[in-house]
Amino acid sequence: MNTRIYFLGDFHLGAPDAASSLAREKRIVAFLDEAAKDATEIILMGDLFDFWFEWKYAVPRGHVRFLGKLAELTDRGIPVHLFIGNHDMWIFDYVPKETGVIVHRDPIERTIAGKQFLIGHGDGLGPGDHGYKFIKTVLRNRLCQWLFARLHPNFALWLGDFWSGRSRKKSYANDRKWLGEDKEWLVQYCQEQLAIKHYDYMLFGHRHLPIDMEVMPGSRYINLGDWISYDSYGVFDGQQLRLMKRMSDGSLSGDVRITGGPAV
Q: How many CA atoms lie within 13 A of 196 on its CB side?
A: 5
Q: What is the pLDDT of residues 122-164, one digit of tens each?
A: 998 888 776 667 777 877 888 888 988 889 888 988 888 887 7
Cβ neighbours for 103, distance < 8 A, ≥ 6 positions apart? 81, 82, 84, 91, 95, 96
Q: Sort residue 78 into left (φ over 0), alpha (ψ -120 to 50) or beta.
A: beta
The pLDDT score that the predictor gives to residue 138 is: 75
Contact residues for 108 (Cβ-Cβ < 8 A; gap 6+) = 118, 119, 120
User: Nearest to residue 76, comparing CAs of 44, 54, 95, 100?
Assistant: 100
pLDDT in tens, 169-228: 556 555 668 888 888 999 999 999 999 999 999 999 999 999 999 999 999 999 999 999
Quick one: pLDDT at residue 259?
40
Label residue 236 by pLDDT band (50, 70, 90).
very high
Given a contact cutoff of 8 angstroms between Cβ atoms, the answer to whether 212 and 190 are in contact is no
Radius of gyration of the chain (CA): 18
- The predicted model scores a pTM of 0.90
Is domain 5-245 annotated with CATH 1.20.1250.20? Answer: no
182 vs 243, which has greater pLDDT? 243
Domain boundaries, the chain: 5-245
